[in-house]
Amino acid sequence: MSRIAHLPRPHFDAARRGRGRISLIGAGPGAADLLTLRAVRCLGLADVVFYDRLVEPEVLTHVRSGATRICVGKEVGAHAWPQPRIDRAIVAAALEGRRVVRLKSGDPSIFGRAAEEIAAARAQGIEVEVIPGITAASAAAAELCRPLTERGRIDRVVLATATCRTDDAPPDLGGLVRPGAMLVFYMAMHRLGALSEALAAAGLGSDHPATICAEVSRPQARSLTTTVGRMAGDCAAAGITNPAVVMVAVAKAPGDGTPGLLGQGRGRTSTAAGSQHDPLPSGV
């Protein structure tokens, strides 16, 4: 049976009724001026902020004076705080009546383990809200000045993770690699070889273009245009590592002859045969 529900509009500064609240805030890809106004307001009201290692120091300047700041040190492949410890800590702070912010890079709802933190809060009857942030895929497309979709060529965007648990089977990308798709892989830099093999098994040739965008929106932002078959070696040679996203376009039609949406760009210098490396423009 269908049901219509009005979505609540949470207010972080509402009466706490003896309990705190938890706000999961997306800090975006890096640059502090990409924070939403709601995120800035909540940071200014927080009593305690649990933040990831990838959150830029400039973002933390929006936290009010006197608030407690705790780095939980999370990054791909190196978790200073295991997720269960983070869950317990944010819940404990909220049960003390504190206004808690869990500050994550990117968007909390996209590979940010927000589901576990929401569940932990709700299990204790704590109000929780999610404030979205700009995800790396959107930020990378903006800095490259190349849209994620294009009428007649790219009609869907797939956000996927290349990082799996050790007991997971290798990814099967056969259902994703279809004409009209823009594929964006997160947390892929430690598994580029396996990703190349999975893309090849799904039908992409080794010479199919791929673009890697690293440190998006930060002063040290870089991009590398390479191919599916060469991306692991080219990234290693260029010293490109996390945080980064891998973008692969599977366009419906050749159009102007450029491969996918990620063709030639401005100001590139060659780093390896068949690959190009260029700084991303700043000041978006």
- Catalytic residues, by residue number, are 52, 74
Helix or strand (DSSP H, E) at 91: helix 83-95
Contacts of 216 (CB under 8 A, 6+ apart): 29, 30, 136, 139, 140, 143, 243, 244, 245, 280
| Residue bearing tokens 């673009």 | 211
Distances (CA, A) of 262 to 185, 221, 248, 252, 276: 15, 17, 8, 14, 12
Question: Is the Cα dihedral 232, 236, 241, 246 positive or negative?
Answer: negative
In this structure, are residues 114 and 130 in contact, taking their beta carbons and an 8 Å threshold? Answer: yes
d(C-alpha 98, C-alpha 258), whole Å: 54
Q: Are strands 48-51 and 99-104 parallel, antiparallel or unpaired?
A: parallel
Task: Tell me which DSSP letter residue 31 carries.
Answer: -
Task: Tell me which DSSP letter residue 70 carries.
Answer: E
In this structure, are residues 234 and 211 in contact, taking their beta carbons and an 8 Å threshold? Answer: no
Q: What is the largest CA-CA distance in the chain?
A: 63
Of 130, 93, 131, 129, nearest to 14 by C-alpha is 129
Helix or strand (DSSP H, E) at 23: strand 21-26
In this structure, are residues 277 and 268 in contact, taking their beta carbons and an 8 Å threshold? Answer: yes
